[in-house]
A and B are shown apart, each in its own frame.
Chain A
Amino acid sequence: MSFYQRSAWACFLSTLVVWGAYLAFTLSLSAEMSGIAIPAMIGAIVLQTIVMIATHIVFAVMHRRETGFDERDRSIAVRSGHWAGVLLSVGVFACAIFFPVREIALRGEVQNAWTSGAMASPFATANLLLAWFVLSELVHYGAQIVLYRRS
């Protein structure tokens, strides 16, 4: 496995674990507890940053003789980035449609932090956009893993 192949695995797994845990945590919050999400988000950012730095230091030591980013790496990055970009665009657009639809469906019922408050609460907007971003990043790194094996 090359440095960038290992890097794709590290990014995929850390994103899945850290942001998966964060999003699962926010889904369990009641409307009154939504303020806890901000420290949790900061904690997730710090945790993933530490994991990424540590893993990449280890990979850099393991691959110190390896040539840098070559044309195949670039081709894989472009293709995976394209798919992730398309998914992110669809997600952002879907988010813009989601809130009016949700409002009609719920008819003002308050269930938890995601479904409470105004038509598009900052909490729900931020976390839904974040969830799409996490999903697009998983597709980004997942596609890299697949493409490194196939091409």
Chain B
Amino acid sequence: MPRQIHITNEIRRLRFEHGEMSQSALANSIGVTRQTVAAIEGAKYSPTLELAFKIAGVFGVPLQEVFRYDPDSKA
């Protein structure tokens, strides 16, 4: 069974608000593969703190606006 992840994110919405930025473009700007961005966006993989800050930096928003800890979520 997949590991339960309680961290939700707003990456999809933020990409949309930033000129419909593609997953590939975001991946290139933070130095990971498109598959890793897709896994983070789909809440299948929790990024390291460093990568989380990089993602927030690309969108120019604070970290808590991108990621939220939600113990009740069913990812």
Contact = CB atoms under 8 A, between A and B. Distances in A.
B3 A67 contact: no
Interface residues of A, number: 14
B51 A67 contact: no
Contact of A67 (B2, B27, B39, B44): B27
Contacts of A2: 33-35
A148 B2 CA distance: 11
Interface of B: 2-3, 27-28, 31-36, 39, 44-45, 47-48, 51
A151 B3 CA distance: 8
A70 B32 contact: yes
Given A70-B36, A71-B36, A150 B31 contact: no
Dominant secondary structure at the A interface: helix
Contact of B44 (A3, A5, A70, A151): A151
A109 interface: no
A66 interface: yes
A67 B35 CA distance: 11
B40 to A, nearest CB: 8
Interface in A35-94: 66-67, 70-73, 75
